[in-house]
Amino acid sequence: MTPLNKRIAILVEQQYQELELWYPYYRLKEAGAKVSLVGPKLQSYPSKLGYPAKAEKAIDDVSADDFDAIVIPGGFCPDYLRRSPKVIALVAAIAGAGKPTAAICHGPWVLCSTTVLKGKRATSFGSIKDDLTNAGAIWEDAETVVDGNILTSRTPDDLPAFMAAFLKMLG
């Protein structure tokens, strides 16, 4: 198998959902991608259950040019991530450049803080359906939804389909 020669950012903040961060992290590394955990600061962030994830890069030290794609995990971390204008700018720049932009569960909350969902089909955890709709998305209850360069998914149970779709997008 040819290694996936891509640079992928996975966003991290406190209260991330463990599987939605670590499953993509290790699956992408296994495929040969260069994966970086990117947080608002260069520090360790506890998951919903207290499991630590250390940001390898701080948002102040990266740009959209540094990455070929981005993953936004769920849990409550997206609510913290979208409070950072620099995180929103990074996501908007990556998505706006047509690069694969993937968000699972509550991850699409970050996309709601950009304009990238307007007119796009998307899915999410059911409780944030209204947020996506209000951001201009056409919400669907599906395991994964791919619309252009935007990939969204609902829950940890959908991770196998989410990662299969993301790897396909990455080539």
Which residues does the annotation mark as catalytic? 106
Please tell me the distance from the alpha carbon of residue 138 to that of residue 145, in angstroms, as a whole number. 10
Residue 35 CB neighbours (<10 A): 21
- Return the structure tokens found at 141: 């209850």
Q: Which residues of 81-110 are buried (b: 16+ CB within 10 A; e: fewer)?
A: bbebeebbebbbbbbeeebbbbbbbbbbbb
Tell me which residue has tokens 């669907």: 140
With CA atoms as reference, report the closest residue to 75 among 133, 16, 154: 16
**Helix, strand, coil abundance in the chain, percent, nearest 5:** 40, 25, 35
Please tell me the distance from the alpha carbon of residue 166 to that of residue 161, in angstroms, as a whole number. 9
